[in-house]
Amino acid sequence: MNNGAPCLEVTGLTKRFGGLVAVKGIDMNLHRGEILGLIGPNGSGKSTVMKLIMGIERPNEGSIRLNDLELAGKPTHQIARAGIGIVFQHSRPLHRQTVLENILLGLLPDRLTSLIPDQTAIDQARSIGERCGLGDVLNRLPASLPFADLRRMEMAKAIARDPQVVLVDEPFAGLTSSEVKTFAALIETFRDEGRAVLLVDHNVKSVAAMVDRVLAMYLGEKIAEGSAADVIADPTVRRVYLGGGLEVFYGKAQALENIDLIVHEREFVSIVGLNGAGKTTLFNAISGLIPARGSITWQGDVRGKQTPAAIARAGIVQCPETRELFGDMSVRENLDLGGQHQSKADSAERLEWLLNLFPILKSRAGQAARTLSGGEQQMLAIARALMMRPKLLILDEPTLGLAPVILGQLSDALTILRDTTDITVLLGEQNVTFALPHADRVYVLEHGRIIWQGPPDRFADEAGAAYL
């Protein structure tokens, strides 16, 4: 660790999104040859800080200085040229270029007359790829890579420009324990080379094992800073997000035990588990329908103590397994209830969109909900939830008891939601064949505990046998 003057100095950094203060007065220094861990629960402002430093977002207030050069508010390409690189949580490759070509772009000069690489640049890109564990896949296209290799490619792209400061966002999300060790070792080599590293991750244990210092955030503010041991022991830190996962008891019977669940914006997350695993209990706790121990944070606010109505108005809308339709009311009346807090124009626009999403409901508009088939009732239940314009839609066992043709229609509807909206979906299912294709990440719930999490393409090999 270099104890000299900091190379990156952040002072009074503040970012507002309308009335929401996402980052408030953050001060932070980063030295060469140092890894600073930035930790905090989901929604605490960690990734926003990283985006502000990289120029992806513009700060409302504050200073960001790299070697005395002011960068606050500068465009991203100027910040990258000055010596800051970022490893994104979600891979952003050029899909028509090979892995080698993606890395090579970072080595080319910023001139239109120098877009043809020489052999030296090609050899250097190959060396960087091999160092990041990509030696066997350099000639493949990104779409053919497994999840861990996509993360390795992001690492390689970031260091291709030889940055002084490397920002690494959630490097361990979705990785196996062996992959976490490999990635941690790679990040530590950045420090060994004299680079400054800002590491953002919600996995406190992984961060604590490798960082020199830790800065903890909560609701946009710094709440602690120091060694990993000191920060973890800090009573404020322990109270807001290190005090254990979500727990639910029915009397003396424990229904959920130490549940740690992260859902990112616009992500589709599947919770798979057999009947009685605790999926509905988990969803009811998130929705405020049952009391729970632990912290439930949504968009920077703690929701566990709010009423179900307030949680729903904040954008968390649950479509329950039991559907809870008003059977004697028509399809249209059920949908109108979902849009009752919107203006007539907004409600009509939403209704038209939903009737295009579920065309069968248009022909059934005047029919009593109780006379619909099971599949039609499920579509109506989902449509009514969507009428409320949720930011997070919780779907509890939507395929239960449905015919294959209806499953296909529901699958198509979820695909449309993913492709055409910014909605986030939390899907609980026993039906793995339905849940996996729609998931960015998967959690397996068994007897009230999460026993596995990861990307869907690893489910069969790593969790399939246990699930069956």
pLDDT in tens, 368-401: 989 988 888 999 999 999 999 999 999 998 988 7
C-alpha closest to that of 427 among 316, 269, 321: 269
d(CA 413, CA 393): 13
pLDDT in tens, 274-308: 888 899 999 999 998 888 887 787 766 666 667 88
Give the mean pLDDT of 167-179: 80
Give the mean pLDDT of 113-122: 68
For residue 118, is pLDDT > 80? no
pLDDT in tens, 299-318: 666 666 678 888 888 889 99
**Please, what is the average pLDDT of the chain?**
85
- pLDDT at residue 95, as a whole number: 78
CATH 3.40.50.300 assigned to domain 249-315+390-468? The reply is yes
Burial class (CB in 10 A: 0-12, 13-18, 19+), 116: exposed
Q: Are 446 and 277 in contact (CB under 8 A)?
A: yes
d(CA 183, CA 197): 14
Query: If you compute the radius of gyration of the chain from its CA atoms, what whole number of angstroms results?
Result: 24
Q: Boundaries of CATH 3.40.50.300 in the chain?
A: 8-240, 249-315+390-468
- Show Cβ contacts of residue 191 under 8 Å, excluding neighbours closer than 6 positions: 1, 33, 34, 35, 197, 212
Q: Please, what's the b/e burial string for 318-342 (b: 16 or more CB within 10 A of its CB; e: otherwise)?
A: bbbbebebeeeebbbebbeebbeeb
8-240 to CATH, choices 3.40.50.2000, 3.30.460.80, 3.40.50.300, 3.40.50.2300: 3.40.50.300
SS (H, E, C) 187-248: HHHHHHCCCEEEEECCCHHHHHCCCCEEEEEECCEEEEEECHHHHHHCHHHHHHCCCCCEEE
Strand order in the sheet with 441-446: 316-319, 392-396, 424-429, 268-272, 441-446, 449-454
- pLDDT at residue 111, as a whole number: 46
pTM of the model: 0.54
For residue 113, is pLDDT > 60? no
For residue 92, is pLDDT > 80? no
- pLDDT at residue 304, as a whole number: 60
